[in-house]
Amino acid sequence: MNNTTTDLSEHPVDFFTNFEDFFNTSPDLLCVAGFDGYFKRINPSVSKLLGYSNEELFSKPINDFVFDDDKKNTKNARKDLTQKIGLYNFENRYVTKSGNIVWLLWTSFPVAKDKLVYAIAKNITFKKELEQERNAHLTELTKVNKELKQLTYTTAHDLRSPVNNLLAVFDLLDKSTITNPETLELISIIEASTQTLKKTLIDHVAILDKKNEEDNQLEILDFNIILQEVLSSINSLIQNSKAKITIDFSEADTIIFNRNSLKSIFLNLITNSIKYSKPGALPIINFNSLRFNGSTQLIITDNGIGFDMEKVKDRIFGLHQKFNSHKDSNGIGLYLVYNHVTNLGGHISLESNLNEGAKFTITF
């Protein structure tokens, strides 16, 4: 094996010139901050996004530019940095000079000997706005769905009264006074149909009661047990596809959730990974869990054809949304997964690139 290294002393001017070009032209926000809570150096993207001049940004503590509701969390995160704890995927809001609020996603690491923090942030305002809009739609959809369920439930209940009244009429009817055979036959048909309708209504209400109970039932579930049940149910599909599945639930092995919902989540994500595997490559699906900020996360990754996130954007979890020409694509699987997660207060996100697989992160 040939090991090659670059001696920066041979090309010092080129290296540092290129570094300065990278620093100054990066669309991401790059900055160096002191342990004292002040910016020490920033690239043009910082002042461009926030609308302040460099002098204004250097003259005040960083927390002065942070949105009020996020000041405490940001202060605590900065305290961790001074104790040599890196910061990854930290989100907070800043207020621009014009008064607008922007969301930033930070990765920061401290250099204790210099009492400096090096950080890079991405502007995720558009993503957050899409999430808020999606959540608003979901809230409205959930409200409408509940209203429809209540209407169905109420209708089924209310219809039983007139049906019972109609059956009571048959009980009061003296059929011995009716001599016409055709009339007697017609009455018998109507009575039998009414009895059938009553039974149908009773069964329908019972089904609704059971469905409501199942949808709302939460229990402590073992990730591995539920996953093995799902894998067993689709064993032939897995064998035929020669899919390789790796599992690591060592960090978080249980969750309080709905059993049927968790099974549906596993089922839809596994079958999608197999269905949309790359031509000529065997499917590889990885499951693992994490404890993150007091929550439990389930992470499912695959090596499939992936998604062009710039094109799919906020449509990825929509109903009947199709992103390829696969003959079995119906645009329902991810919609179901999204609703199973969010209906019980969770959150799901997707990271993907075309032909580079997909990573689903579910936070319970």
Residue 34: which CATH number?
3.30.450.20
* Total domains, the chain: 3
Last residue of a domain, one of 216, 231, 260: 216
pLDDT computed for residue 321 by the predictor: 52
The verdict on 142 and 38 lying in the same domain is no
**340 touches 264 (CB < 8 A):** yes
Give, for 47, the enclosing helix (H) or strand (E).
Answer: helix 44-50
Distance CA 258, CA 219 (A): 6
Instruction: Choose one of 197, 216, 235: the last residue of a domain.
Output: 216
CB of 94 closer than 8 Å to CB of 6? no
69 and 141 in a single domain? The answer is no
3-state secondary structure of 301: strand
Q: Tell me if residue 92 falls in helix, strand or coil.
A: strand
Q: Looking at the structure, do residues 139 and 174 belong to the same domain, yes or no?
A: yes
- Locus of tokens 């009773």: 202
Which residues in the chain land under pLDDT 70? 1-18, 138-139, 142, 145-146, 148-154, 156-158, 160-161, 209-216, 313-316, 318-332
**Statement to judge: residues 233 and 298 lie in one domain:** yes
Token pair for residue 185? 């036959």
pLDDT at 79: 84
Q: Is residue 96 located within the same domain as residue 21?
A: yes
- The C-alpha angle 74, 77, 81, rounded to 5 degrees, equals 135
pLDDT at 228: 93
CATH at 168: 1.10.287
Residues 310-323 as b/e (b if ≥16 CB within 10 A, e otherwise) read eeeeeebbeeebeb
Do residues 359 and 299 make contact, with C-beta atoms less than 8 angstroms apart? yes
Residue 302 maps to a domain: yes
Q: pLDDT for 195-225, tens place per residue? A: 888 887 777 777 776 666 666 678 899 999 9
The whole-number pLDDT of residue 339 equals 81
Nearest to 74 by CA among 252, 64, 83: 64
Q: How many CB atoms lie within 10 A of CB 275?
A: 18
Would you give the DSSP letter of residue 123? Answer: E
CB 258 within 8 A of CB 218: yes
Domain final residue pick, 195, 216, 237? 216
Instruction: Tell me which residue of 335, 207, 337, 314 sits closest to 261, measured CA to CA.
Output: 337
- pLDDT at position 298 is 92
H-helix or E-strand containing 38?
none
**Using CA of residue 226, residue 229, residue 234, residue 235, what is the dihedral sign?**
positive
Domain residues for 94? 9-123
Q: Let me know whether 225 and 353 are in one domain.
A: yes
Please report whether residue 286 resides in a domain: yes
Q: Which two tokens stand for residue 124?
A: 């995720």
Does one domain contain both 240 and 112?
A: no
pLDDT of residue 223: 93
